[in-house]
Amino acid sequence: MSSKPRLFSGIQPSANSLQIGNYIGAIVQWKELQASHDAIFCIVDLHAITVQQDPTQLRENTRRTAAQYIAAGIDPAASTLFVQSHVPAHPELAWILNTITGFGEASRMTQFKDKSARQGADSTTVGLFAYPTLMAADILLYQAAVVPVGDDQRQHVELTRDLAGRFNSRFGDTFAIPEARIQRETARIYDLQEPTSKMSKSASSEAGVVWLLDEPTVTAKKIKSAVTDADNDVRFDPESKPGISNLLTIYSVLAGESIASLEAEFGSRGYGNFKTKLADVVVATFAPIRERTLELLADPAELDRVLAGNADRAAEIANRTLATVYDRIGLLHKA
Ligand code: ATP
Ligand code: LTN
């Protein structure tokens, strides 16, 4: 048993490439945390199907998501990187948690309210409604102490804490109570064409989204045509200069230079020069990740083997928790 605190997080395989916001907002942090934590990263395909997915695409996106995480530095030998549907304990515990979750409580989840309002009642499923209890099961099966997520997932982690506490007080101490870990500074990378909305895999237009698997020439072109204001002064001011401030954040994280030193270096030398340098930095970061991803994808059997081994490791922990849960609630043991 490792004495490091356990960490759990999940990523939906909802597109055929990650975007650089996922890298800056999630992967960079996960890479740092994987040394000091017993880290488990789950590709949550059962969550992805709470909105309609094409079956062929879903299978492909699941592999591609795994490959990109590995290529970007998540080490499947040091951390556990696995596919949710490979461990049946997830939906099994989710069902149990459904039976202790209030209908009103689940109805208050803002992600559900937003997504169901966008889709309309007719295409909103019971699966989407139960999304948060599946997420709670993900976390609680592993007795995770730390859950690094974006700000939008804070409410789901709160619900997870409530459910764990409720179960513990009704049936005896069973689950660790997890804590959300939300990174402030890089919590939001914005769309390059619409620098007031979050860069997202499901953005309406492609032009403002830099994909990890874009070809270097495409990446450079997107950076150079990013929307900026007219005054040509490279200065960090998210309120009145959202475009250039977003580019400064990206530069700063990827090059490991402070925003102040970038302002001093580029200040009044104009946007063109700054964007050209930034394009080089972005390409230098992602071209090797892209190449490594393509190499990993060229051998899907090996990738599947790594994911299977990791799923076995995950299942061992998850099944132990699930067995305790079944026992505590009084399900009859199979002879
Ligand atoms: P979708 O559009 O399918 O909801 P997404 O691109 O917004 O996807 P998720 O798969 O929901 O991303 O999130 C994966 C991780 O990446 C989360 O931890 C999330 O907080 C982080 N993340 C996503 N977009 C950004 C962004 N623009 N800036 C910073 N972090 C981000
Ligand atoms: N809902 C999360 C993905 C997710 C997750 C988890 C995150 C599913 N299960 C468990 C942390 C812990 C999202 O980012 N959309």
CB of 252 closer than 6 A to ligand 2?
Answer: no
pLDDT number for residue 145: 98
pTM, two decimals, is 0.93
pLDDT number for residue 115: 92
CB of 141 closer than 6 A to ligand 2?
Answer: no
4 is a catalytic site residue: no
How many A from CA of 147 to the centre of ligand 2? Answer: 9
How many A from CA of 11 to the centre of ligand 2? Answer: 6
What is the identity of the amino acid at 121? Answer: A
Paired tokens of 300: 């899907």
Give residue ranges with CB within 6 A of ligand 1: 11-12, 14, 19, 21-22, 24-26, 149-150, 187-189, 198-202
The catalytic position among 115, 221, 241, 334 is 115
The three-state secondary structure class of 184 is coil
CA angle at 199 for the pair 198 and 205, rounded to the nearest 5°: 115
pLDDT, block means (10 residues), the chain with 335 residues: 89 94 91 96 98 96 97 97 98 98 97 92 93 98 95 94 98 98 79 94 87 96 95 93 96 95 92 96 98 98 98 98 98 94
Contacts of 258 (CB under 8 A, 6+ apart): 252
**Closest atom, ligand 2, to C-alpha of 131:** 1
The catalytic position among 4, 31, 201, 224 is 201
What is the identity of the amino acid at 165? Answer: G
Q: Rounded distance, CA 185 to CA 326, Å?
A: 42
115 is a catalytic site residue: yes
Residue bearing tokens 């700063």: 252
Atom 8 of ligand 2: nearest residue by CA position = 10
Q: Which ligand is nearest to the CA of 14?
A: 1
201 is a catalytic site residue: yes
Mutate which of 20, 22, 110 for ligand 1? The one with the most ligand atoms within 8 Å of its CB, which is: 22
Phi, psi for 260 (deg, rounded to 5): -60, -45
The catalytic position among 4, 31, 113, 198 is 198
**Closest atom, ligand 2, to C-alpha of 156:** 1
Based on DSSP, count helices (H) and strands (E) in the chain, helices before strands.
Answer: 15, 5
